[in-house]
Amino acid sequence: MVSTASSLKLNVKDLSIRYGSTLALEGASFAVRENEIFGIIGPANSGKTSFIRAINRMDEMTPGMEVRGDIEFNGKSVTDWRNLYALRSRIGVVFPLPVGLPMSIYENVAFAAKLRGVKGKADLDEVVERCLTRAALWDEVKDRLDSLGSLLSGGQQQRLTIARALSQDPELLLLDEFSIAVDPVTTMRIEEVLKELKQEMTIVLVTNLTQQAQRLADRTAFFLEGKVIEVGDTADLFKGKTKDPRTTHYIEGRFG
């Protein structure tokens, strides 16, 4: 099926990213469709995280980071959004290491909802329970929601970060190695939730676990040495139906 412009969530056009004299990503062009899980795989220093940062215009707060080319979000260049908060409120981001807000578990999740205008306690309670449940954390913290989020274990803090991202009701969810600090059983529980969430939003999943991309992603991009080597249906790539042998070599664990 050929995607039309209206069915695209992201359209990446000749995107290049530098940090000073170091080129992190060069000439990337591809599209991410509405309501798909789009996987990104590749070894370290391939430009994967830099791409995630560029979507949310994090270059504006990262010294030395320079972005050229374009990323369209819902058909509009991210650089054309005058209200940066309005852009970021529609995009949830989860990075590898959890960064909790210095407040209670409850307030960590309710914070974004309050900014969106949700005020009633019953409504906030529903948001908190729903998001913590989706992040596979509710059962572990439901009796201590007033405790500081920073007192949770590393894996729990990462799941709290996921819950906080979901509390924005984002159109686009960016997950960068979300499972690094999460145990395998909980990872599988979150993966099941992600499969359901793609009915409501588009998900970009950066993962160093190729099997995770195989389990979750509808399509997958392979990044290598700052270039997008290829993008294809995940099932085809993992069956060896690749355009570039390096993709197959990476998937089979011959390098990386």
Q: Give residue limits of the domains in the chain.
A: 35-56+84-251
Candidates 183, 203, 207, 180; CA nearest to 193 is 203
Q: Phi, psi at residue 62, to the nearest 5°?
A: -115, 105
Whole-number pLDDT of residue 180: 86
Q: Which residues contact 26 (CB under 8 A, 6 or more apart)?
A: 16, 47, 226, 227
In tens, the pLDDT along 13-46 reads 999 999 999 999 999 999 999 999 999 999 999 9
Strand partners, 12: 30, 71
Instruction: For the chain, list the strands marked E by DSSP.
Output: 8-19, 22-33, 37-41, 65-73, 76-77, 91-94, 172-176, 202-206, 219-224, 227-233
Whole-number pLDDT of residue 2: 44
Whole-number pLDDT of residue 155: 87
Superfamily of domain 35-56+84-251: P-loop containing nucleotide triphosphate hydrolases (3.40.50.300)
- Alpha carbons 247 and 41: distance in angstroms, whole number: 10
What confidence category does residue 173 fall into, taking pLDDT thresholds of 50, 70 and 90? very high
Residue 1 has pLDDT above 50, yes or no: no
CB-neighbour burial class of residue 86 (10 A; exposed 0-12, middle 13-18, buried 19+): exposed
Q: Phi, psi at residue 20, to the nearest 5°?
A: 65, -125
Candidates 112, 101, 105; CA nearest to 146 is 105
Residue 6 has pLDDT above 70, yes or no: no
> Do β-strands 76-77 and 65-73 pair in parallel, antiparallel, or remain unpaired?
antiparallel
In tens, the pLDDT along 242-251 reads 999 999 999 9
Q: Which residues contact 27 (CB under 8 A, 6 or more apart)?
A: 14, 15, 16, 69, 227
Tell me the percentage of the chain whose pLDDT exceeds 70.
97
Computed over every residue of the chain, the mean pLDDT equals 93
- Alpha carbons 188 and 192: distance in angstroms, whole number: 6
Residue 135 has pLDDT above 80, yes or no: yes
Helix residue spans in 37-168 (DSSP H): 48-55, 84-88, 105-115, 121-134, 138-141, 154-166
In tens, the pLDDT along 198-244 reads 999 999 999 999 999 999 999 999 999 999 999 999 999 999 999 99
What type of residue is 131?
C
- H or E element at residue 196: helix 184-197
**Contact by Cβ (8 Å): 72, 13:** yes
